[in-house]
Structure 1
């Protein structure tokens, strides 16, 4: 069996990233394990999430741009639409950038409810609820 073990992201300002990731990922069932050194480690029911400090030439680069080569977005599936709203509110309160507020996407599937937000470095996240038939 093969499964995803962890996701690794890079952040320009680790302290600012803690202020975003702690409340946002808590809404998704993750808790930070360990201190504030690189990498930040978040554990939950899904793959581990690691947030590294930029280093070398990466420290001077601009934030990620959606549509550029690389990871487009990470999607977290939650059990009900209220969890989509809760994650959205946590991300906004932690200075995340709203890409799309929570709404339904009937073009994806019946009842598909999602929000899209970005962290401080432009990494994009989707939080989605898809009703089970």
Structure 2
């Protein structure tokens, strides 16, 4: 696929971790609920995606401590509300902290269904589903 065929504006994001082994085990579990897997695996970096590396987890390249960006979060697409629920359950089971249980988020649009958690390093992550039929009926 070339850039003119790809509707996305993003290539990938990377997050730093202070707990690489635990963090990759966490993301293995939660991404499995969304059909996302490891697509690249290096001794100190793992990349996840459905086809190509879209989400990287690794210790900071500068050797410093990883920190969380205030106001930053990462949202991952789910094919159904049930997969949002599964992501949330898997995340909590793997040690995440709750930041907002699964449910409709009408403040983001009638079609929006999502959940929020914090991963093992405190990064805010989300799974969300957009129900196009609800968007069309209110558009």
The answer for the alignment partner of 1:12 in structure 2 is 18
Gaps (5+ residues) in structure 1?
Answer: none
TM-score, length-scaled by structure 1:
0.82
Supply the distance in 2 between the matched residues of 1:34 and 1:46 (Cα, whole angstroms).
Answer: 9
Q: Which residue of 1 aligns with 2:68?
A: 64
Write out the 4+ residue segments of structure 1 that deviate beyond 4 Å after TM superposition: none
RMSD after superposition: 2.2
Task: State the distance in 1 between where 2:84 and 2:124 align.
Answer: 15
Aligned to 1:24: 30
Match of 2:73 in 1: 73
Alpha-carbon distance in 1 for matches of 2:52, 2:105: 24
Q: Which residue of the other structure, out of 33, 40, 55, is the alignment partner of 1:49?
A: 55
> 2-side partners of 1:34 and 1:105: how far apart?
33
CA distance in structure 2 between the aligned counterparts of 1:65 and 1:5, rounded to whole angstroms: 20
Aligned length: 127
Deviates more, 1:26-35 or 1:111-120: 26-35
Structure 2: 5+ residue runs without aligned partners?
Answer: none
